Chains A and B, each alone.
Chain A
Amino acid sequence: GDSVTQMEGPVTLSEEAFLTINCTYTATGYPSLFWYVQYPGEGLQLLLKATKADDKGSNKGFEATYRKETTSFHLEKGSVQVSDSAVYFCALDQTGANNLFFGTGTRLTVIP
């Protein structure tokens, strides 16, 4: 069945450090891929998405590229800020399934 495997946390970085959070998936067909973010005390928000192979999603300095050959969708940011501290969830939407499969989440803490 469909699944998402996400890099375990927690991750602690200093401000301005480079961030990578790994995400790989298993799915039949060609799913859409997402990163959601949950800031402290808030609900899940869509951060970025990619709907087909080689697409790059980007938002707020974060990027992720849909790599079909490695079934991956790693999240990256070149210079993190304290305000990026949150839990990040990788998710997939199998075409026609109309529901999201989520990874377990990675907690990021950025220290000044």
Chain B
Amino acid sequence: GAGVSQSPRYKVTKRGQDVALRCDPISGHVSLYWYRQALGQGPEFLTYFNYEAQQDKSGLPNDRFSAERPEGSISTLTIQRTEQRDSAMYRCASSATGNEQFFGPGTRLTVL
């Protein structure tokens, strides 16, 4: 079947605007993860879900960041009042039971 998809692939926004990034995991995958990757760095964990339950949000940098997965499938990562330091690649991954994560292509966010 299809892999993990993310939309939009590119997002340019002005400082202070809210953005919503979408992740569509592999069908049937229980777990969904969000990571942020700065240029020249490895991905950094933000949060993850099992089904619709957010299990760990310890990586969210501050309360402007939130995520949801209301029906246990598609997830949305929302950043409120964006700042220039939020510019990065945001990556989503999903996994079945077990520890192999499959990554989407990412959303490149640029905050002007």
Contacts and interface: CB of A to CB of B under 8 A. Distances in A.
Interface of A: 4, 6, 32, 36, 42-46, 49, 51, 89, 91, 93, 98-105
Interface string B96-112: 00011111111000000
Interface in B13-64: 31, 33, 35, 40-45, 48, 55-56, 59
A9 B35 CA distance: 22
Contact of A45 (B41, B56, B59, B103): B103
Given A43-B105, A43-B106, A98 B56 contact: yes
A32 B106 contact: no
Q: Is the interface of A mostly helix, strand, loop or mixed?
A: strand
| Interface band, chain B | 20 to 34
B10 to A, nearest CB: 13
Contacts of A49: 99-100
A104 B105 contact: no
